């Protein structure tokens, strides 16, 4: 069976997200709980408050599948509902057919520190 992952609406104010880090590569057999991507959502103009809102998120799979195609490179902006990845339950399955549904994922807000994405300090 072929599944897809499209950028979901995580918070009401978002129009898209930037893919910051990809944790898997095409051809990987991913298990439930595997990290897929980390992304950031620009919410600077959406909130007028002293503490910034959570704007960094991690997507984790809730089912087993093969990652067959990845459509967005790290550092690229993806529009809401934009195609990010294609998965299949069989690594040799034809992925040019219509996806049966979205792959099951969990999206969690994560605390951000400047060195988190860059791997170092400025």
Q: The CATH number of the domain where 43 resides is what?
A: 2.40.50.100
CA angle 14/73/109 to nearest 5° reads 40
Q: Which residue has the higher pLDDT, 60 or 52?
A: 60
Residue 65 within a domain: yes
Residue 21 within a domain: yes
pTM: 0.82
Rounded-to-integer distance, Cα 65 and Cα 105, Å: 12
- pLDDT at residue 101, rounded to an integer: 97
Residue 121 within a domain: no
State CA 6 to chain mean position distance: 8
Residue 7 within a domain: yes
**DSSP bridge pairs for 18:** 40, 77
Share of the chain above pLDDT 90, in %: 70
Residue 122 within a domain: no
Rounded-to-integer distance, Cα 70 and Cα 44, Å: 28
Residue 120 within a domain: no
Domain residues for the domain of 94 are 2-112
Query: Is it the case that residue 121 has pLDDT exceeding 50?
Result: no
Could you tell me whether strands 29-30 and 16-22 are parallel, antiparallel, or unpaired per DSSP bridges? unpaired
Task: Write down the mean pLDDT value for the chain.
Answer: 86
Query: Is it the case that residue 77 has pLDDT exceeding 50?
Result: yes
Residue 119 within a domain: no
Q: How many domains does the chain have?
A: 1
Q: Which residue has the higher pLDDT, 32 or 15?
A: 32
Query: Is it the case that residue 45 has pLDDT exceeding 80?
Result: no
In sign, the C-alpha dihedral spanning 6, 45, 19, 54 is negative
Residue 73 within a domain: yes
* Least confident range of 46-50, 65-69, 88-92: 46-50
Count the Cβ atoms, other than its own, within 10 Å of residue 57: 21
- pLDDT at residue 47, rounded to an integer: 55
Backbone dihedral region of 73: left (phi > 0), alpha (psi from -120 to 50 degrees) or beta? beta
Query: Is it the case that residue 115 has pLDDT exceeding 50?
Result: no
């Amino acid at each position: 069976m072929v599944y897809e992952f499209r950028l979901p609406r995580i918070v009401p104010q978002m129009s898209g997200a930037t893919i910051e880090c990809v944790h898997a590569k095409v051809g990987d057999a991913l298990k439930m709980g595997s990290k897929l991507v980390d992304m950031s959502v620009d919410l600077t103009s959406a909130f007028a408050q002293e503490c910034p809102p959570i704007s960094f998120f991690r997507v984790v799979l809730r089912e087993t599948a093969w990652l067959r195609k990845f459509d967005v490179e790290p550092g690229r902006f993806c529009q809401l509902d934009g195609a990010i990845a294609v998965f299949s339950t069989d690594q040799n399955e034809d992925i040019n057919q219509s996806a049966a549904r979205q792959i099951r994922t969990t999206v969690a807000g994560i605390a951000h520190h400047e060195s988190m994405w860059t791997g170092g300090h400025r």
